[in-house]
Every structure is written in C-alpha cells, then in structure tokens.
Amino acid sequence: MAKSVIAKAVGLGINFIDTAAVYGRGRSEEFVGRAIRELGIREQVFVATKIPGDWHRFDDVLKAARRSKERLGLDVIDLLQLHWPACWHNVPICETMRAMERLVDDGVIRYIGVSNYPLQLLQTARECLKRSDIVSSQNRYNLIEREVEKELLPYLRREGITLIAWSPLAKGAVTSKYSPDNRPRGDLRENDPLFHPDNLREISSKLIPVIKELSAKYGKSPAQIALNWLVMHDNVVPIPGAKSPEQVVENAGATGWRLSDEDFRRLENVSNSLSITYVTW
C-alpha cells in the first residue's frame, strides 16, 4: 500500500514525503525508502524524517541520523526534523543544534527543521546555529486546532520559515465521516480527545454543516474544503496522511482553486465558535 500511495502521489505532482524514526519504530522509513528505490523516483522527491526528543544528545543525534539515512537508503536526508523537544532529558538545546549543524557539514542532511517546538525554544535553537538555519517548523494545524496562529505562525512568516501543518484534516475529524454515534474504531483515535463524543458533537453540529454546504457549492469534498482553507494561508504546507491512493487523489485536488474570501472567513468564524477541550476525563 505504501508504494501505491507514493506512486500515485508522485504521479500527481506531490513531491514532499514526511516520515519519522518513531513511525513503526523505523518501519515507515524502510517502506518509504524501498518505495523510492523500486519506483526509481529519488530525483523527484524531497524526503523529510524526524528524530524523537529522546535522542537529542550530541552523539545520539549523529547516530539516529545515520540510522534513519540507512533505513531510507538515501544519499542524503533532505530535511531532518527534531520531532519534539527533549522534554525530560535536560539536554541543552545548543548541544542538539551543534549536532544538527555537524550533520549538514558532513553532508548527511541538507536542511534542519523542528517540530512541536514552542516559539521561544525555536528562537533559542536558531541562535545556537553558526552556519545553518532552521528552514521549517512542523506543527499541528487544522480547522479545529489553530493554536499556531497565536504567536508561532506570525513569527515564521516574518522569518521566512515554512510551517509544515501536521494533521491538517484533524485526523479525519473535518472530513464529515465521524460523529458521536460513529467514532473511529480500532486505532489510536479511540482515545484521542478530538474524537471524544463531547468534542465530536461540537464539531458535527457547528463546523461540519458549513463544510458540507461549501462542499456542495464548490463541487469539492469536505476534505478538499478543509485543506483548501489551510493552503490559502501564506507560508503553510499541509501534509495530509492518506490511507489509500484514492485519498491521495482527493487530497491533491485541494489545490488549483480557491475558496472565496467570504467563504474562507465563514469557515474561520465557525471554527472560532467551537468549544473544544482536551480535558476529557
């Protein structure tokens, strides 16, 4: 399936592939690497991966990057991201960034990115770098979860750092498939706060009706409406996850057209009216 999803994506002109060491404990990187080799598409894709916050000591960063590169089977990792801060490991941020810069100098990686870093830590991380800079920040951003707009996104825009939006479909919550009576089963979403009945009730009673109305108006699917709203933001690149080639085709169809400014604002207003809580127990 990974190979057919990637083949379909590249055929449609999608060239950015995002994976991480922790996805399936290395298996996702292996699948991506194998697909790229078997399809012969190395020159057409930009491959990003991530190393977890538990491996941010100097030597661990070098070791983790080497292992990711091997699993991916690449000449060079295009973008290496620090997946989340070294929360409880107490590694000074400059130690980690020195290792990242070493990887650029040694030709193991091309660019440095961070993910889930608060603004102040991102700023400090940049100050640690002498010869390189951080080119991207990967954060959760979708029609329901918009905290990045408060301080991070304005800073990234000013500094020319790309925001890579993860879970741009709110893990499927904005696609109109789910409701309090029809929650996802058999995967991590069962315990995800966004899919708690209270939150799903809020989403399906306020946001989904507007998405469905716009879906009918533009002749686009709910997923395409939600993704188009995101790509209309300067400096934001969404990375929707796809479980099938059909979903890839649909998600690629979120570009090449635009919601009107009025409809864009309508989505924003209904999104502002949502009352979502992560305190679910």
Active-site positions read: 23
Residue of 31, 166, 195, 229 interacting with ligand NAP (CB under 6 A): 166
Beta bridge partners of 50: 81
Chosen residue from 169, 211, 214, 225 binding ligand NAP by CB under 6 A: 169
Calculate the alpha carbon distances from 281 to 93, 96, 171 in Å.
34, 36, 21
Name the strand (E) or helix (H) holding 100.
Answer: helix 93-105
* Subset of residues 59 to 88 that bind ligand NAP, contact rule: CB under 6 A: 83
Tell me which stretch binds ligand NAP (CB under 6 A): 8-16, 55-63, 161-169, 267-275.
Answer: 161-169
The answer to whether the CB of 94 falls within 8 A of the CB of 52 is no
Give the separation between CA 37 and CA 95, rounded to whole angstroms: 34
Our CB check for ligand NAP shows the closer of 96 and 175 to be: 175
- Please state, in angstroms and rounded to a whole number, the distance separating the CA atoms of residues 113 and 161: 9
Is residue 18 involved in binding ligand NAP (CB under 6 A)? yes
- Separation between Cα atoms, residue 202 and residue 181, nearest integer Å: 13
Output the six-digit token pair for 42.
Answer: 């190395």
205-244 mask for ligand NAP (x: CB under 6 A)?
------------------x---------------xxxxx-
Which residue, 105 or 190, has its beta carbon nearer to ligand NAP? Answer: 190
Residue closer to ligand NAP (CB basis): 116 or 132: 116
Q: Which of 60, 145, 250, 263 binds ligand NAP (CB under 6 A)?
A: 250
> Can residue 172 be called a binding residue for ligand NAP (CB under 6 A)?
yes
| Min dist. Cβ of residue 256 to ligand NAP (A) | 15
Q: CA-CA distances (angstroms) from residue 89 to 54, 57, 111?
A: 7, 9, 24
Separation of alpha carbons 171 and 168, rounded Å: 7
Whole-number Å distance between alpha carbons of 228 and 89:
39
Binding segment toward ligand NAP, per CB under 6 A, in 51-59, 72-80, 154-162, 164-172: 164-172
The Cα 83–Cα 49 span in angstroms is 9
Token output for 84: 């989340």
Q: How far is the CB of 165 from ligand NAP (least distance, A)?
A: 8
Is the CB of 115 or the CB of 132 nearer to ligand NAP? 115
Using the minimum distance from each CB to ligand NAP, give the nearer residue, 59 or 212: 212
Rounded to the nearest 5°, which phi and psi values hold at 102? -60, -40
Q: Which of residues 80-139 bind ligand NAP (CB under 6 A)?
A: 83, 115-116, 138
Can you read off the two tokens belonging to residue 89?
Answer: 């490991």
What is the smallest separation between the CB atom of 38 and ligand NAP, expressed in angstroms?
A: 20
Closest residue to ligand NAP in the complex (CB): 241
Tell me which amino acid residue 159 is: E
Q: What is the DSSP letter of 37?
A: H
Residue number, 108 or 172, with CB nearest to ligand NAP: 172
Binding site for ligand NAP (CB under 6 A): 18, 83, 115-116, 138, 166-172, 175, 177, 223, 239-243, 247, 250-251
